[in-house]
A and B are shown apart, each in its own frame.
Chain A
Amino acid sequence: MSRQLAIIVTLVAGVLMVVSGFIKPTEGWGEDVAEWFNILAAIAFVLGAANIAKVHLSKISARDAGWGFSAITLLAFAVTFAVGIMKVGVNPMPAFPNVAMSGEKDAGGSAFWWVYTYVMSPITATMFSLLAFYVASAAFRAFRAKNTEATLLLVAAFVVLLGRTFAGVVLTGWIPADSDWAFLRFENLSTTIFEVFASAGNRAIIIGIALGVAATSLKIILGIDRSYMGSGD
C-alpha cells in the first residue's frame, strides 16, 4: 500500500512539474512541488543527524578500525552545532540592540564564523587542492599512446596543457600573431580544441544525456521503472 501511495505521489508531482512548464495558470505549482521537496529534505536532516550519531557511536563502542576519527567527527559535529544554535559570540543586530540573539550566527567574529573561516575553509580547500596531485598521478598512469584514439587524446592534452600557460606563448610566440599561421600558436590551438572539438563532443553527449533523462523521467513518472524504490522485480 505504501509503495502504491509513493507511485501515486510520484505520478502527481511529476505531471504537475511538466504541466507547470507549459500552462500559465499552473506555473506556480511546479515551484510548490519543489518547495515541498525542500521541506522534506530539511526534515530528513534530523534523520541524517541521528544516523551520524548511531553509526559513529557504534564504531567507537566496538573500537572499529578508525574509531578515533568517529570520535573527532562527533565532537566536531557537537561543537559546531552548539556554537551555531546558541549563537556564541554573536553581537545583536543594530536594529535590535537589546535582543542578545538577534545577530546572524555567522556574523564576523562569532564562534561559528571562526569555525567556518579557520577550520572548514582551509580543510575543504585542502581537499579540493588534492586534485592537482591526483591529476598528476592519473596522467602519468593513464595517458599512454596505446592506439590512435589514445594518441590523439595525448596530443590534445599536450596542446591544452601548454596553451593554457605562458609556456605556450614562449614556445610558439615566434609565429606572428597576424600571419596565416597564427592558428598554430599553442594558445590558439588550445582555444580551437576547447571551442570546436571539445564543444562538439560535449554537445553530442549532452543530447544523448537529455534524451536519457527524458526517457528515464517518463518511466519514473509513469511508474514503469520502480527499481529505485526496491520494487523493480
Chain B
Amino acid sequence: MTSATASIMVSILGMADEASAESFFVSGRGALFGWLAIISVFVLVSIVMARGGKVFKVRPIAGLSAVDEAVGRATEMGRPVLFIPGIQDMDNVQTIAGLTILSRVGKTTADYDAQIEVPVSRSLVMTAGREALGASFLAAGRPDSFNEDQVYYVTDEQFGYTAYVSGLMVRKKPAACFYMGQFFAESLILSETGNSIGAIQIAGTAETSQLPFFVAACDYTLIGEEFFAASAYLSGEPDQMGSLRGQDLSKALVGAVLVLGVVAMTAGALVGGLDGVTGFFQSLVGG
C-alpha cells in the first residue's frame, strides 16, 4: 500500500497512525482496492439510475438474438436442444453466467415445448442446473414438462466428458447446441461434432484461448464480455441493464487511463522531467 493510501485509510477509519494502517491492510493492494471501488460505484449508481426510470440501450448481439431461432428450429425438427454450461464448477463465474443463460434458454424451450438435455461435468453444477431449469419451466407455465433427469452428471474427467457428449450428439443429433461457460481443449471437438451433424450452434466463453475454435465452428459466438452481458440482454431488466451500463462506464475509464498513461509514459521517456505524472500513472496500476 502506498503511503498516500495509508494516510487516507488513517483519516477515514480513524486509525492511530500510518503504521497501524500498514499492519491492518494487505500491502500493495491500494490500486486494486481503488479500481474495485470505482467499478462497484459505477455499477451500483447505474443500477439506481435504471431503477429510477433511466432507459439504457444495448447494441444487438447476434448470438443472443438467435436463441429463439435455434430453439424454434429444434422444435420444428423434433430434435432436442443440447446445453453445455462449460466444464468447470460452481466456483467459476463463467459457469454461473452459463447457468444464467440456461435459465433463459430453458424458458424458451419450455415455451416451445421442445426437449432439452443438459449433461454436466460437475455434481454441484447438476444440482444448480436442475434448480435453474426447473424454475424456467415453472416460469413458462409448464412445470409438468420438467424432468430433473434432463440435467445429469457425466464425469469430472475432461475428455471422458467430451467423449460422452460427442457420442450423444452423433446418436441423438440435437438441432441446436449451446456451449456457454469455460471450455478448454474440448471446445473444438464438441463444436466440430455439432457442425458435422448440422446443428445450429451458439457458443459463449471468456476463455480467450478457445474463442478462435468456437468462431470457426459455431454459427454465433459470444466473445468475452458479451457472454457476461447475455443475462442483461436476454432479460432486459432495469437492474441488469444498469449493471451493463456501469460495466461500460468502467471500460471507458480504463480505456482513457490506458491512453493517457501511454502518452504520459512516452512523453516522460522522451522529454524527461515528468516524474510526478508518470509516478501517478504507475501508482494506478499498483507499480
Contact = CB atoms under 8 A, between A and B. Distances in A.
A and B touch in the complex (CB under 8 A): yes
A25 B24 contact: yes
B100 A211 contact: no
Interface string B156-181: 11111011000110011000000000
Contact of B228 (A23, A143, A213): A213
Interface residues of B, number: 83
Interface in A22-69: 22-25, 27, 34, 37, 40-41, 44-48, 51-52, 54-55, 58, 65-66, 69
A224 B124 contact: no
14 contacts: A41-B123, A66-B168, A138-B188, A138-B195, A142-B217, A206-B208, A206-B224, A208-B251, A212-B225, A213-B93, A216-B97, A218-B39, A218-B243, A233-B139
A89 B233 CA distance: 57
B68 interface: no
A46 to B, nearest CB: 8
A143 B217 CA distance: 11
A44 B225 contact: no
Contacts of B25: 22-24
B39 A214 contact: yes
A215 B157 contact: no
Interface stretch (B73-81, B127-135, B273-281): B127-135
Given A24-B26, A209-B228, 6 more contacts: A127-B162, A213-B206, A215-B244, A218-B43, A228-B99, A232-B103
A225 interface: yes
Contacts, number: 204
B103 A228 contact: yes
A27 B26 contact: yes
A5 interface: no
A228 B167 contact: no
B26 A224 contact: no
A134 B89 contact: no
Nearest to B136: A230
B39 A215 contact: yes
A216 B104 CA distance: 16
A216 B208 CA distance: 18
A98 interface: no
Contacts of B26: 21-24, 27
A232 B235 contact: yes
A95 interface: no
Given A47-B123, A216-B93, A211 B251 contact: yes
Interface of A: 18, 21-25, 27, 34, 37, 40-41, 44-48, 51-52, 54-55, 58, 65-66, 69, 120, 123-124, 127-128, 130-131, 134-135, 137-139, 141-143, 202, 205-209, 211-220, 224-225, 227-233
Contacts of A34: 91
Contacts of B158: 124
A52 B153 contact: yes
A59 to B, nearest CB: 11
Contacts of A131: 185, 188-189
B115 interface: no
Interface in B108-146: 122-124, 126-128, 131-136, 138-139
Contacts of A27: 26
A135 B25 CA distance: 49
Contacts of A225: 100, 231, 239-240, 243
Interface in B78-110: 89-91, 93, 96-97, 99-100, 103-104, 107
Contacts of B251: 207-208, 211
Contacts of B47: 224
Contacts of A227: 99-100, 103-104, 132, 231, 235
A208 B251 CA distance: 7
A205 B224 contact: yes
A54 B152 CA distance: 10
Nearest to B242: A224
Contact of A134 (B134, B159, B188): B188
A209 B172 CA distance: 34
A40 B251 CA distance: 35
**9 closest cross-chain pairs (CB), A and B:** A230-B135, A212-B228, A48-B123, A44-B123, A127-B159, A208-B225, A212-B225, A142-B216, A228-B99
Given A127-B162, A212-B228, A224-B47, A45 B192 contact: no
A134 B189 contact: yes
A138 B196 CA distance: 10
Nearest to B246: A215
B64 interface: no
A233 to B, nearest CB: 5
A109 to B, nearest CB: 23
